Amino acid sequence: MNDIARITEIAEEEAASLGFDLVRVRYFKGGEIGDEEHTLQIMAERPETGQLVIEDCAALSHRISDRIDALEEAGDVLIAEAYRLEVSSPGIDRPLTRAKDFAAWTGHEARIELAELLDNRKRFRGDLAGFDAEREMISINDDGVVYTVPFSLVANAKLILTDKLIAASRPLDTSGVDDIVEEQED
């Protein structure tokens, strides 16, 4: 038995200790046809940039791995089978997993899949038209019709990569990217 709720709690604590926000914890089998390996995927972000650099991913990966290893040594096994730990930034076409994600990305195109039918449909694609925090309702403009979707019904949602999204995304520090470093051969 795998205790994903407990792993999520641990990942959230470790992310917070580094100043990051946890975006998503997902446990799945395979990624390619015939791939039998399990993956524990953890996405986090710096609140000020919405991204992580490779050093941030490595630091969070080590903290989570060390914590899970310590628990296993004490007899508390959270994942029964072998798995690969994958820690990453959510990326530009990020998953929308938290209520605040829908509010922050209003005006951008998204795809939402529901856990059950709403108005005889489970899938919506269009511009996020708003988020009512009090009622936890998402508004999405799908082909000119604005649907109101309960956040509690969202099974999967993500932003769609568009020019508007690229323009709105805050880049990481790019100082020095145009510098050319020439090395001399010995």
3-state secondary structure 41-55: EEEEECCCCCCCCHH
| Burial (Cβ within 10 Å: 0-12, 13-18, ≥19) of residue 173 | exposed
pTM: 0.81
The larger pLDDT score, comparing residue 131 to residue 174, is at 131
**Is residue 68 a contact partner of residue 78, using CB atoms and an 8 Å limit?**
yes
pLDDT (0 to 100) of residue 169: 81
Q: Quick one: tokens of 38?
A: 């399990």
Query: Tell me: the pLDDT tens digits for 144-159?
Result: 999 999 999 999 999 9
pLDDT for 121 beyond 80: yes
pLDDT at 179: 60
* Overall average pLDDT of the 67-86 stretch: 93
Statement: residue 182 has pLDDT above 90: no
Q: Would the pLDDT of 120 be above 90?
A: yes
pLDDT for position 99: 94
pLDDT higher than threshold 90 for residue 181? no
Taking residues 40-57, report their average pLDDT.
Answer: 94
Q: Which domains does the chain have, with CATH numbers?
A: 4-88 (3.30.300.70), 99-168 (2.30.30.180)
Comparing 136 with 173, which gets the higher pLDDT? 136
